Amino acid sequence: MKIKTDFITNSSSTSFILIYGTEFGLDEFLELVGMKKESDFSFLFARIYQELWEKKEPIRDTYDDDTIKERFSKEVLSRILEAEKKGKKVFAGTLSSENDEIESFFCTDSFIIENDTFYLNAINCIW
Amino acid sequence: MIYPYSIGGSTERYFLTIGKHFNRRKFLKKVKVKKGSHAEEVFGRIYDELMSETIDIQREYRKYYAEEYGDIREFLYQKLNVRQSLIDNLIEETNRGRRVLSGRNYSSKDYVISQLIFSETMLEKLNKLLL
């Protein structure tokens, strides 16, 4: 697993990109982020799973190649094009810091989680 | 336990009471995160934020204030402006052999982590873990 973290901002929203091949549920998501299901703190990642899955939309409903390059990066665009070529599902969405502290935390934090099952990029903060 | 308190309503502070041998590794083990994972990174930051720039109150009292204040209770009340009910809790914890640390919110500049720690649900869960 690769994890990249970055600067912290006072952004009010963060665009995210989510890529995966086959559907997976909350239990697998917890496993993939490294939080044991029986932990008292699994609620934190269960909440972010819920937010991501509720807010994700097929990326091509919103973004064309130029917008992806502009709002994320050339590297992210390449990754998306490669994933699309392999038939993977690519989604985008927005988290907001206007809601509760948990969504606000994941919104204002910047991170990439990458493993064999999924790729989550929440680096792009909008001030 | 984490006991948030403020001085003059502006500077947010907290007391953190922990066992004598409490450390980062034990904290992460109790949280139940996997090594090298994103969850470990997040909770490692939570631990670091809580412990960052904290002062051991008993040591501080013994080293610098024992002559000026008759006992630690007086020191907490007169020097640190801590309310009596909170002093009672802290003294009870020291009597059980626990360390009392004093810290400031946002001390490590990891603003979002601090905000998360002091949210209602998180504070409740952390206090259960730190008992």
**Predicted local confidence at residue A14, as pLDDT:** 82
Query: What is the reported pLDDT for B101?
Result: 96
Domain housing A52: 2-126
CA distances (Å), B79 to each of A22, B7, B15, B92, B129, in order? 60, 11, 15, 19, 30
Q: Do B28 and B118 contact (CB within 8 A), yes or no?
A: no
Residue B131: pLDDT band with limits 50, 70, 90: confident
Q: Among residues 54-73 of chain B, which lie with CB inside 8 Å of chain A? A: none
B27 touches A: beta carbon within 8 Å? no
Alpha carbons A110 and B121: distance in angstroms, whole number: 22
Whether the complex's predicted ipTM is more than 0.90 is answered with no
The average confidence (pLDDT) of chain A is: 86
The pLDDT value recorded for residue A125 is: 53
For residues B114 and B46, what is the distance between their CA atoms, to the nearest angstrom? Answer: 8
- B97-126: pLDDT as tens digits: 999 999 988 766 677 888 899 889 999 999
State the pLDDT at residue A110: 78
Q: Residues A94-113: pLDDT tens digits? A: 888 777 788 888 887 778 88
How many domains would you assign to chain A? 1
Using the Cα atoms of residue A12, residue A27, residue A40 and residue B36 in order, give the sign of their dihedral. Answer: negative
What is the rounded average pLDDT for all residues in chain B? 91
Q: Which residues of A touch B128 (CB under 8 A)?
A: 40
CB spacing of A36 vs B34 below 8 angstroms: yes
Mean local confidence (pLDDT), B58-69: 96
Per residue in A12-41, pLDDT (tens digit) is 678 899 999 999 899 999 999 999 999 999
CB contact under 8 A, B37 and A34: yes
Structure tokens at B36: 């090298």
Percent of chain A with pLDDT over 90: 54
Angle, to 10 degrees, between the axis of helix A101-108 and the axis of helix B120-130?
Answer: 90
Listed ranges A49-53, B52-56, B62-66; the one with the highest mean pLDDT: B62-66
Among A5, A37, A39, pick the best mutation site for testing chain B contact (most B Cβ within 10 A): A39
SS (H, E, C) chain A: CEEEECCCCCCCEEEEEEEECCCCCHHHHHHHHCECCCCCCHHHHHHHHHHHHHHCEEHHHCCCHHHHHHHCCHHHHHHHHHHHHCCCEEEEEEEECCCCHHHHHHHHCCEEEECCCEEEEEEEEEC
Residue B9 pLDDT > 70: no
Contacts of A41 in chain B (CB under 8 A): 31-32, 43, 125
How far apart CA B14 and CA B20 sit, in angstroms, is 18
**pLDDT greater than 60 at residue B92:** yes
Q: What is the pLDDT of residue A127?
A: 41
A48 with A102: CB under 8 angstroms? Answer: yes
Please give the angle made by the CA atoms of B112, A28 and A96, to the nearest 5 degrees. Answer: 30
